[in-house]
């Protein structure tokens, strides 16, 4: 029997059959990862919290995960709708015969507004997908800047947060 490991997916192939092996990740020692519905899950109590906060419970983490998954679905639909509207605005937005400058200007404004909304939705979609990935990897709640816990309370209010309050305040002052 031959075993071959690919670096990209952390999968081990044995004699033509693939089985999942869990990547080691950066979760705290003692973190237990299991496979559930094809995705890695981490024990909620092993996710980082700030000093004085209660550990995550399975219910709290499921609530955050569900909110993020619904947000991904909503934003994907919003982006699809915006793209369809943009196609129409781009098609109708040219300065054609019988169109005065005010009509063209109004169409251009609508197009720019729709592009801005679509770009904002894309950023939020990426943030939501990244948060779900961090949950799966056991790194949810770690500040991208300083590596300290973001805080469970902050994440329950704003599940896409990637910075702790201190780092976010520093970023906003710049």
All domains in the chain, ordered by first residue: 52-173 (1.20.120.910)
Q: Which residues contact 15 (CB under 8 A, 6 or more apart)?
A: 1, 2
Summarised one tens digit per residue, pLDDT across range 63-118 is 999 999 999 999 999 999 998 888 887 776 565 556 677 777 888 888 888 899 99
Task: Kindly state the tokens that stand for 71.
Answer: 């947000």
The answer to whether 20 and 5 are in contact (CB under 8 A) is no
pLDDT at position 104 is: 77
Look up the pTM and report it: 0.69
Tokens of 52: 């004085």
Q: Phi and psi (nearest 5°) for 2?
A: -105, 145
Say whether pLDDT at 62 is over 80. yes
Phi, psi of 31 (to 5 degrees): -70, 130
pLDDT at 1: 42
């Amino acid at each position: 029997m031959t075993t071959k490991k690919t670096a990209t997916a952390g999968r081990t192939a044995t004699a033509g059959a693939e089985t999942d092996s869990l990547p080691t990740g950066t979760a705290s020692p003692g973190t237990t990862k299991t496979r559930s519905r094809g995705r890695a899950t981490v024990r909620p109590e092993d996710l980082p919290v700030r000093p004085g906060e209660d550990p995550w419970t399975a219910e709290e983490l499921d609530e955050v995960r569900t909110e993020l998954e619904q947000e991904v679905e909503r934003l994907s639909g919003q982006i699809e709708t915006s793209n369809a509207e943009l196609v129409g605005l781009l098609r109708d937005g040219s300065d054609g015969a019988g169109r005065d400058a005010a009509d063209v200007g109004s169409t251009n404004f609508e197009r720019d507004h729709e592009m801005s909304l679509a770009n904002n939705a894309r950023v939020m979609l990426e943030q939501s997908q990244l948060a779900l990935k961090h949950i799966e990897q056991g790194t949810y709640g770690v500040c991208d800047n300083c590596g300290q816990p973001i805080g469970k309370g902050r994440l329950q209010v704003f599940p896409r947060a990637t910075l702790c309050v201190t780092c976010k305040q520093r970023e906003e002052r710049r």
